[in-house]
A and B are shown apart, each in its own frame.
Chain A
Amino acid sequence: MIIGPKEPLLVVDDLKTYFFTRQGVVRAVDGVSFSLTEGETLGLVGESGCGKSVTALSILRLVPEPAGRIVGGRILFQGENLLEKSESQMRQFRGSRISMILQDPLTSLNPVFTIGDQVGGPFKYHRRGGETRDITQKVVDVLKRVRIPAAASRLKDYPHLFSGGMRQRVVGAMAIACEPRVLIADEPTTALDVTIEAQFLQLLKQIQQEIGVALILITHNLGIVARICRRVAVMYAGRIVETGNVHRIFENPAHPYTKGLMDSVPRLGEKKQRLVTIPGQPPDMSTLPPGCSFWPRCEYAQEICRQEYPPESRLGEDGYVRCWLAEKQTQI
């Protein structure tokens, strides 16, 4: 586990979250470690089923029970281990010190309550308001912060009167209402049009600068990662296979999966003859192969890859990769 130069705000140490189903145990998150410092943006990249969403839910202890359970590891937030907290203690954290926004703006808001009510909710619940009119003022302020035009006059509007992009901003307002230290955004722009997405990303950056919140951005879109993340963690089949500074990862990906992803994405302005692909498909999480879970798709796979999962090999200041190829190279 690598700790950055500053004292980290959030440390996830060897997190393991398993789902116990009739077909067997799904190791959705199998030993994930990373850290987040104040105000930094970490991109959590991976495809469907890799465990990035479950990681986010685990941090907030919202993993669906009884099938899902956090079975190991520590989550240290400002030094306190969240996994040791009781449910009522966790409720103090959720929404006020650690917050989350999700992918679908359509279902993130309750259709039968006004946005004034919904955005006021976090203030009321965490007792950050005072009198009702104080809360109203705070609601208007936070809506302005997410650049909702004519915020004061829209408090009594219902969600269906807002477009997808606007709704996502309202959700963002709810998330930052109590000025959390960590904001987790799980695919926040996947459902938005590209020009609206650009607006939203710009907004995220601005908010970050204004209130200094650290951001964990979960996405499969490498372009977004490049635009707003400082550090990146790449996940595959429940584990982080590579992490590091965004420039290093894009210029010099160490893990074959990362490299494959970078190569296979069509880029504007660069037409190729034929796209490079990663053969095969993402694994079925209930039946993972032994050894490194990527070996069936890896062109560099060797005997040891099929037998043992590679350990972390340090890369640069604040990164590592889990690959036998890299391990061998660092040993040389």
Chain B
Amino acid sequence: MLAGRETDTNLVEVRHLTKHFPVYSGLILRKQVGAVRAVDGISFSIKEGTSFGLVGESGCGKTTVAKLLLLLEKITSGSIYFAGIDTEKMSSEQGRAYRRSVQAVFQDPFSSLNPRMRVGTILSEPIRVHQALPEKDIPKRVAELLQIVGLRLDAGRLYPHEFSGGQRQRIAVARALALNPRFIILDEPVSALDVSIRAQILNLLMDIQEKFGLTYLIIAHDLAVVEHVSHAMAVMYLGKIVESAPTEELYANPLHPYTRALLAAVPHPDPGAAEPEFTLSGEVPSPLNPPLGCRFHPRCWQVKPICSEEEPPLREVGHGHQVACHLP
């Protein structure tokens, strides 16, 4: 299921990516009084043909990472490399190629599609924008896309509101595939769908990944889903990556206290399962004023003095497993 066409090249490389949103105050002369440090120096890479999972709770910055990768927000500092090219230094030609190669599927199937456009138009729009196919070949391509995602071939005439949530998400996937992209960013692709539909969509995503050799970044809060669909993953907390590893390794051997708390918190669909060993207390602090030192230290039950003074760097502990924690 996770075969894909794995290569050893990194299709996507993110280095010290940082995004700060300035906060202003004052009515007339607006002064910057602070910044929301949504993403604060993260680095990871994704091998072509694989899926990379990004998990974390609200405020951790994972959605901002998606927006930065999609060039919907400007980078404050750091860089993104796609197929070896620095996105900040792209020519306009390369920029257009980027748009063709990098697509997205978002969480809400109800606002992802323009309610006033027919499905056929929605699917053909990217093709038209990039003039990727002559006009006469477009209907065939649309039919092809519909078939790939398992929708009726006459769906093109209909409007989004005539479809269910799961079907709309299929339309969104079809649109993402329209230009034969290499990389698709999936931001919570199934969390807004009914439970019985999620499996269908996940299977679809896995199948097309294998068929087309796609690379995925999957952002989700459902740890079971991420375990199922990703080859490697990272856990984010307040704008930083606290742990990253190949998926199997991470679930088998979670090292960072936050990762362990997350895993413990997930309710298992098994009434016989033991009660979680502990429950994390406290709330996620505001990204405006992250705690000094290790950002997790106020909630950490293993906290030591050094944790409030120094921020732990991300260090390698073997098997491609990295952790940012002062504890051995």
Do A and B interact directly, with beta carbons closer than 8 Å? yes
Taking Cβ atoms with an 8 Å cutoff, the residues of A that contact B are: 47-48, 163-166, 193-199, 201-202, 220-227, 246-247, 250, 260-262, 264-269, 271-279, 281-282
Which one, A222, A272, A274, A281, contacts B269 given CB within 8 A? A222
Q: Per-position contact with A for B265-279: 1 when CB-CB < 8 Å, else 0?
A: 111111111001001
B284 — which chain A residues lie within 8 A by C-beta? 163, 193
Structural contact, A199 and B195, CB atoms closer than 8 A: no
Structural contact, A226 and B194, CB atoms closer than 8 A: no
Which one, A193, A201, A225, A266, contacts B224 given CB within 8 A? A266
A274 — which chain B residues lie within 8 A by C-beta? 1, 203, 206
A276 to B57, CA, bound (A): 28
Which one, B58, B261, B269, B273, contacts A265 given CB within 8 A? B269
Taking Cβ atoms with an 8 Å cutoff, the residues of B that contact A are: 1, 57-58, 164-167, 194-200, 202-203, 206, 221-225, 227-228, 248, 251, 261-273, 276, 279-281, 283-284
Q: In whole Å, how far is B136's beta carbon from the nearest beta carbon of chain A?
A: 34
- Write 30 A-B pairs (CB below 8 A) sorted by A numbering: A47-B194, A47-B195, A163-B284, A164-B58, A197-B267, A198-B267, A201-B267, A220-B194, A221-B195, A221-B267, A222-B195, A222-B269, A226-B269, A226-B270, A226-B271, A261-B196, A266-B224, A266-B225, A268-B223, A268-B224, A268-B266, A271-B1, A273-B1, A274-B203, A277-B203, A278-B196, A281-B166, A281-B167, A282-B194, A282-B197
Nearest 6 pairs of A and B residues by beta carbon = A223-B267, A198-B265, A193-B57, A264-B199, A222-B269, A275-B199
B223 — which chain A residues lie within 8 A by C-beta? 194, 268
A164 to B283, CA, bound (A): 9
Instruction: Count contacts between A and B, CB distance < 8 Å.
Output: 135
Q: Which residue of B lies closest to A268 (CB)?
A: B224
Structural contact, A260 and B194, CB atoms closer than 8 A: no
B1 — which chain A residues lie within 8 A by C-beta? 271-274
Which one, B197, B200, B265, contacts A195 given CB within 8 A? B265
Q: In whole Å, how far is A316's beta carbon from the nearest beta carbon of chain B?
A: 15
A165 to B224, CA, bound (A): 22
B267 — which chain A residues lie within 8 A by C-beta? 197-198, 201, 221, 223-224, 226-227
Which one, A47, A163, A224, contacts B283 given CB within 8 A? A163
B248 — which chain A residues lie within 8 A by C-beta? 271
Structural contact, B270 and A250, CB atoms closer than 8 A: yes
19 extra interface residue pairs, beta carbon distance < 8 Å, beyond A194-B221, A222-B195, A267-B270: A47-B194, A47-B195, A163-B283, A165-B283, A198-B276, A221-B195, A225-B269, A226-B273, A250-B269, A261-B195, A268-B223, A268-B266, A269-B227, A271-B228, A274-B1, A274-B206, A277-B199, A278-B199, A281-B166
Q: In whole Å, how far is A39's beta carbon from the nearest beta carbon of chain B?
A: 18
A267 to B263, CA, bound (A): 12
Q: In whole Å, how far is A179's beta carbon from the nearest beta carbon of chain B?
A: 25
B166 — which chain A residues lie within 8 A by C-beta? 281
Q: In whole Å, how far is A149's beta carbon from the nearest beta carbon of chain B?
A: 9
Q: Which residue of A lies closest to B59 (CB)?
A: A193
A220 to B58, CA, bound (A): 21
Structural contact, A199 and B280, CB atoms closer than 8 A: yes
Structural contact, A194 and B265, CB atoms closer than 8 A: yes
Structural contact, B195 and A226, CB atoms closer than 8 A: no
A227 to B270, CA, bound (A): 7
Q: Which residue of A lies closest to B299 (CB)?
A: A195
User: Given that A194-B223, A198-B264, A198-B265 are known contacts, is A47 also in contact with B279, CB under 8 Å in the complex?
Assistant: no
Structural contact, A48 and B269, CB atoms closer than 8 A: no
A198 — which chain B residues lie within 8 A by C-beta? 264-265, 267, 276, 279-280
Structural contact, B227 and A268, CB atoms closer than 8 A: yes
Structural contact, B266 and A223, CB atoms closer than 8 A: yes
Structural contact, B263 and A268, CB atoms closer than 8 A: yes
B269 — which chain A residues lie within 8 A by C-beta? 222-223, 225-226, 250, 262, 265, 267
Q: In whole Å, how far is B279's beta carbon from the nearest beta carbon of chain A?
A: 5
Q: In whole Å, how far is A332's beta carbon from the nearest beta carbon of chain B?
A: 29
B268 — which chain A residues lie within 8 A by C-beta? 223, 226-227, 267-268
Q: Which residue of A lies closest to B270 (CB)?
A: A226
Which one, B199, B225, B251, B262, contacts A269 given CB within 8 A? B251
